[in-house]
Amino acid sequence: QKDGYRFFMEKEIYEQSNVITDTLLGRLGTDDIIFEELDPELFNGINEIKLCACGTSYHAALSASYLFERYARVKTSVEIASEFRYREPIMTKDTLFVVISQSGETADTLETLKMAKNAGLKTLTICNVDNSSMVRLSDATILTRAGVEKGVASTKAFATQVTIFWMLSLHLAKLRSTMDNGEIIKQIELIRQIPGAVKVRDEIHEKIKRLSKRYLHGHGFFFIGRDIFYPLALEGALKLKEISYLHAEGYPSGEMKHGPIALADPELFTIALLPEHMLYEKSKSNVEELSARDSTICAISPLQFEKADDFIATKNHESYMLEFFEMMVVVQLLSLEVSIRLGNDVDMPRNLAKSVTVE
Ligand code: F6R
């Protein structure tokens, strides 16, 4: 049932607040994160984490790498499953191998899990489907509680994956004593605010609907961001490609001058993620360079940005992570509205399947 929404994807974007609340349920202690499903032994002797996934789940994994290294000070690497499988990787037993998958059935990701098991590594699956192949195969599982996701373009599953990773990074920080209790308590309070941060605000949705009228004529899109906003930029670009069939690329803001800026012209739309609490000045100057070369700029930020042609005002949040979650909703809505205006079947985009069980 679409419950009055035009497409399942729209419904699923609006559901994010509730499914994140479900994902947090019973997991937030006063000064620790509680994962009852995890045996504390799982992390014994672990010096490195390797995350492996495809598509949107890969973007969630990339986001996790920033959090794990920043908060838990644990060496973290991220792999695209279809690459990892064939490149004769080195796997050492002090590595925890983590696969991320909405479905738990993606063939390439499943194969990497088998490889890790065969190499004797401890394994953890972050998954939305209980009893899926990956859940059954791995040593430990954390379930996201996104509910059934019908839209082919993943939204709420991604939201719950990043929520789990934020929590897991703090859980590890506690175990490894890399953050003091006061700081962990503060972060837990921020986590409680995610459901509020992802609630769709009418004025934002209306603004995006208006912008989509012009954006459907864009020749190309750059989504740019720094730090954890870079994986979000990749995810924004993927969403637009998938359902609008427009060419979009995600880039780290600081990389533009190393080549991509040559493409700048008024027909190139730059969607700039400009959070207040993560490298604002640096990101802003990257966007100014693009503006000076005549790219059309859409800034997503809580801070007014006079060089922007279009501006989507997000809220002032206390932390860059809450800004991340609100901006996630903005980029999801942008692809949704452009796709609807183009008359596409948002939930069943051409050439795509919900679960990729072939190699
Ligand atoms: C994008 C999308 C795909 C999946 C990818 C992995 O919107 O849905 O990129 O994220 O096929 O699927 P799972 O997470 O089921 O392993």
Note if 241 is an active site residue.
no
pTM above 0.90? Answer: yes
Provide mean pLDDT across the span 243-256. 96
Nearest of 240, 224, 273 to residue 153 by alpha carbon: 240
Contacts of 69 (CB under 8 A, 6+ apart): 75, 76
Which of 109, 356, 357, 358 best tests ligand 1's pocket when mutated (most atoms within 8 Å of CB)? 356
Query: How far is the centre of ligand 1, averaged over its atoms, from the C-alpha of 348 (Å)?
Result: 14
Nearest of 85, 126, 137 to residue 108 by alpha carbon: 85
Number of other residues whose CB lies within 10 A of the CB of residue 114: 14
Q: What is the pLDDT of residue 358?
A: 79
Mean pLDDT of the chain: 96
Q: Are 247 and 220 in contact (CB under 8 A)?
A: yes
What confidence tier does 226 reach under pLDDT thresholds 50, 70, 90? very high
Atom of ligand 1 nearest to the CA of 103: 15
Per-residue pLDDT tens over the stretch 308-354: 999 999 999 999 999 999 999 999 999 999 999 999 998 988 888 77
Q: What is the pLDDT of residue 305?
A: 94
Collapsed DSSP state (helix, strand, coil) of residue 334: helix
- CA distances to 88, 91, 155 from 84, rounded to whole Å, are 7, 11, 25
Report ipTM (2 d.p.). 0.99
Query: How far is the centre of ligand 1, averaged over its atoms, from the C-alpha of 55 (Å)?
Result: 5
